[in-house]
Amino acid sequence: MEPPAAASRLPSFASQTNALLRKNLIFQKRNRKETIRLIIVPIYLCVLLSVLQRVINNVLDKPKYKCGCKCVNVDGAGPCQNVCGIQYSTLDQAGSCPIPNPPEWPTLLQVPRAEYRAIQDSSKLFTGLPDASCRKSQSCPASIPFTGANETLSTTVMQNLFTDSPLSNLSDYTSISSLLLGTDIPGTSTGFIEPAFVSDVPMYVIQSQCKARDPVTVRVTIDAINIQKEIKCVQGLPLWRNSSRTINEETFMGYRKGKIRGGINEIAMAYDFQDSNEKHFNVLAMYNSTHLNISYVPTPFGLLRLSRSLNAVSNAYLQFLQGQGSGTKMLLQFMKEMPKQVTHLTIDFSSLIGPLFFEWVVALLFPVMLTYLVYEKQHKLRTMMKMHGLGNGPYWTIYYAYFLILSTVYLVLFVIFGSLIGLNFFKTNDYGILFVFFFSFTNLQIVLSFVAAIFFSKVNTAQAIAYLYIFGSGLMAGSLIRNFLEGGKFPRHWITVLEIIPAFSLYRGLYDLSQYAIRASETGNPGMRWSDLNDHTNGMRDVLIIIIVEWLVLLPVAYYFDHASSVGHRSSPLSIIKRFLGKNPTWRRISINEIANNDVHVEMEKLDIIKEREIVDQVLQQRNSGYAVVCDDLKKVYHGKDGNRDKYAVRGLSLALPYGECLGILGPNGAGKSSFISMMIGFTKPTSGNAFVQDFSIHTDMENIYSSMGVCPQNDMLWEMLTGKEHLQFYGRLKNLNGSALDLAVEESLRSVNLLLSGAADKQVMKYSGGMKRRLSVAISLIGDAKVVYMDEPSTGLDPASRKNLWSAVKQAKQNRAIILTTHSMEEAEVLCDRLCIMVDGRLQCIGRPKELIARYGGYYVLTMTTSSEFEREVEDLVLKLSPNTRKVYHLSGTQKYELPKQEVRIADVFMAVENFKKRVEVQAWGLADTTMEDVFVKVATGAQSIDELS
Ligand SMILES: *[C@@H]1O[C@H](CO)[C@@H](O)[C@H](O)[C@H]1NC(C)=O
Ligand SMILES: *[C@@H]1O[C@H](CO)[C@@H](O)[C@H](O)[C@H]1NC(C)=O
Ligand SMILES: *[C@@H]1O[C@H](CO)[C@@H](O)[C@H](O)[C@H]1NC(C)=O
Ligand SMILES: *[C@@H]1O[C@H](CO)[C@@H](O)[C@H](O)[C@H]1NC(C)=O
Ligand SMILES: *[C@@H]1O[C@H](CO)[C@@H](O)[C@H](O)[C@H]1NC(C)=O
């Protein structure tokens, strides 16, 4: 028979793509409900956002949050007038009130809290201070270190800092500002309210000597409003230091959160008078800007209490110049914030929490794509397609394009709907930027799902982990990126580094877009435009660059790993990486030697196997063998894990199979049949040895082998959604069939496996019975012009009628193909196979035509006889008389089975003898049978196993 030229029949890229595209379109059509549901998700989220936004703004528009008003009689008579303002508002309302005339607040000095104020400690620093006992009585002084070129001058100025006038009623600003008042409460972000006057916390007056320790309640008048305020005295302690370096070191060491010494020693202020003299005053003031109180101050920094300390020192210098007692003073009476209009409290909710929502919307596609990929992997459909000739190129092209279209439609609908519903996020920003951003991220996400698919083999696991990942990474990106950006403390370039994680870069992009949207809705400017990408605070440009670079890097990586793993070797990503790094563990070679030594004595015995081996050797000499399949000493070892012994699945298999032949492989479970088939179809790599299919090696040329191979695997690998016909059309197209030839082949194929009846061909596979799936699998393996077909137990689970049909289909298909078939049914083996081999424990025990085998291993009749137990002896005598070489093979309470050698007995003699015997003894039942394949099988199998046990 002619060996076909396989290379010329390789299906073209276009025809493979076409086949896959059509299959996916059908799949998509069946799956449209899912798709629609998926596309509805962003729409649903947009609606939810917009509803939430309306609800929130509605609530904020209620009187509860509007500036409070009251009807008051302004001029004492007539109808009252509606007057709005802070004075009529609750705390919630005050925020939106107009403040046409902000209150004038006296300025205060920031004083450290009593428990943190500086004290003497063991170091050389912090000299001239009281010891720790002052902390108990809360009477530590507010220390003010100072330095300067002229110590006399500096000390004199510092002494003038404090006024020791007694606390009287503070009824005007002059009396307030002549005292040095302080507080330990941090300031607010605006100057509308001075928390020190409003809260119940006592204020401080800083004096050079405290007479009374207890707080004094004083009446303070601010803007004609009387406030009762407790005021405590704090001693102000000027401390001469001989250089500003000392001061610097002190403040450095005393830092509350510092970890260097652990001591907390905070100072109130520090001055450096430098080269000041009577002619000019040159002062440097050190202050602490780290004071903040989150619960008071929504923005990171409160107003700094710096002005009072500068004013106080200037005033002290003035006193020094004039000499004590002169009347001229330079005092800062109050500070006043600029007036403010009435404001509406609104929150651009969609832009505020939008990034997180939108992140989830975009990332939602990830698990969907992953599911597609892992589904085909879990059900081995990818391998099945590959085994029928589908290359990686078309697979990638179609899936990539398919995912891209799905994602693009999804995101375009999302953007359109978001704009329609009026979300600022979409309306204000440039659609071009939105498109480029989403589109590039989508591409990255597709590649990521290809990469992720490598690591999963179960849809459920993949889905669970993917959903967890997008949910968790979204939240994490949300809190981290937002805090880092808004906190302003985390270095920008580290944020950029974080954006290497795709979820983070997505969030960053969305965050910046939303910031522009918020600004746009506040100021009426347009949102993000292309020109804004040059803005260095805008992370969008970096994000786009990162995404595109990652895409470019991951694409070949994903393709490589996918290629490596899809060859069908059930290899973990780890082993791929190992292979990639070129590491080949050395223990492999050792174990190969072990098997080689084991083998010798067995092969010596079997002539037929030696002959087969000779044919193989002969065939291997020739360039063009003309044989369909040639196996050359194929071995497979599964290495034992966790201390288990290595398992030798196949121990040196040599076979030569011409075209037009069907070879049946028989063997008990675990004999290595499936391992053998797995190696031949590229599921696993042989540990050693080689096999040639149409002269292509299974080590190197699997791609070529696949193009003319058919496989009917043990477990049906079918798409639940597709019909039988669609399966056959798909695989037919993969095998280069099209047009009427394809229709014909599909119909022929369906008829041959009996699937044309009762519309089975057009039913989805999920409605098929096990037997129907089996028949479809066989049909798939035979469609097209597959030259070598492997069938792993093709007729399991079939009813007798279907089985007959199947057999005739296979018999017909055998004409110009080589078929390798494993089965447990002897009947099937005898009907279908030209040659049979029996495999036990990884070795071939015999090979030959069924008749030959029966003759060789059979060669006897089986006589079964049942009598009552007392006559067993006599039965045995009878049989031994017929032939002395008889063997008893079975014996159980009166039933005995004997093998009578064919050469020594004639059937007629047996009948005669039994008839005579029956006259004497009551025979309950008896029978004489020729040996069957089954007997041969049992004999070979048990024989081989007992040899094994002996050795
Ligand atoms: C330091 O200042 C005092 C008071 O003004 C002055 O009398 C003295 O000469 C100054 N000392 C120096 C070294 O300039
Ligand atoms: C302070 O005010 C209170 C109450 O108004 C008054 O009784 C007291 O005499 C005043 N003290 C001074 C020193 O003015
Ligand atoms: C911050 O302000 C809150 C609210 O008034 C107050 O309870 C808390 O003690 C303040 N914290 C500091 C460090 O001042
Ligand atoms: C400054 O004072 C420190 C101790 O407080 C002393 O060790 C140092 O020598 C002094 N430096 C000068 C320049 O006087
Ligand atoms: C400055 O203020 C912060 C926050 O209150 C505090 O932790 C730190 O110790 C202060 N630094 C000094 C030198 O007092």
Q: How far is the CA of 42 from the centre of ligand 2 (A)?
A: 69
CATH number given to 859-930 = 3.30.70.100
289: helix, strand or coil: coil
pLDDT average, residue stretch 721-738: 87
Whether the CB-CB separation of 901 and 885 falls below 8 Å is answered with: yes
Distances (CA, A) of 642 to 167, 206, 570, 583, 639: 85, 77, 19, 21, 10
Q: Which atom of ligand 5 is nearest to the CA of 256?
A: 9
Domain boundaries along the sequence of the chain: 32-45+349-577, 67-97, 102-326, 859-930
Ligand 5 pocket test: pick from 291, 295, 309 the residue with the most ligand atoms within 8 Å of its Cβ: 291
Please tell me the distance from the alpha carbon of residue 56 to that of residue 439, in angstroms, as a whole number: 32
Q: Whose CA is nearest to atom 12 of ligand 4?
A: 242
Q: Which atom of ligand 1 is nearest to the CA of 278?
A: 5
688: helix, strand or coil: strand
Q: Pick left, alpha or beta for residue 840 (phi over 0 → left; psi -120 to 50 → alpha; otherwise beta).
A: beta
Please tell me the distance from the alpha carbon of residue 186 to that of residue 203, in angstroms, as a whole number: 12
**Chain Cα centroid distance, residue 63:** 48
- Distance between first and last Cα of the chain: 43
The one-letter amino acid code at 628 reads A
Question: Which residue, 155, 513, 133, 550, is CA-closest to 355?
Answer: 513
Q: Whose CA is nearest to atom 4 of ligand 1?
A: 153
Whether the CB-CB separation of 575 and 465 falls below 8 Å is answered with: no
H-type alpha helices, 581-682: 587-605, 607-621, 673-680
pLDDT tens digits, residue range 229-278? Answer: 889 999 999 999 999 999 998 888 888 776 665 578 889 999 999 999 99
Q: Whose CA is nearest to atom 11 of ligand 5?
A: 255
In this prediction, residue 126 carries a pLDDT of 83
Whether the CB-CB separation of 466 and 387 falls below 8 Å is answered with: no
pLDDT tens digits, residue range 916-942? Answer: 888 888 888 888 888 777 777 777 777
Reported confidence tier of residue 605, pLDDT bands at 50, 70, 90: low
Cβ neighbors of 89 (< 8 A, separation 6 or more) are 67, 68, 97
Ligand 4 pocket test: pick from 120, 122, 241, 242 the residue with the most ligand atoms within 8 Å of its Cβ: 242
Question: Which residue, 842, 818, 516, is CA-closest to 693?
Answer: 818
Token pair recorded at residue 626: 């003309």
In this prediction, residue 401 carries a pLDDT of 92
Whether the CB-CB separation of 358 and 213 falls below 8 Å is answered with: no
In this prediction, residue 570 carries a pLDDT of 45
Please tell me if the CB atom of residue 32 comes closer than 6 angstroms to any atom of ligand 4.
no
pLDDT tens digits, residue range 161-214? Answer: 988 777 776 888 888 888 899 998 887 777 888 888 888 889 999 998 888 778
Whether the CB-CB separation of 291 and 277 falls below 8 Å is answered with: no
| Strand arrangement of the beta sheet that strand 627-638 belongs to | 647-658, 627-638, 688-693, 696-697
pLDDT average, residue stretch 506-535: 86
Please tell me the distance from the alpha carbon of residue 941 to that of residue 880, in angstroms, as a whole number: 27
Protein residues with CB under 6 Å of any ligand 5 atom? 112, 251, 254-257, 266-267, 288, 290-291
Reported confidence tier of residue 7, pLDDT bands at 50, 70, 90: very low
In this prediction, residue 577 carries a pLDDT of 54
Distances (CA, A) of 774 to 181, 716, 797: 93, 6, 8
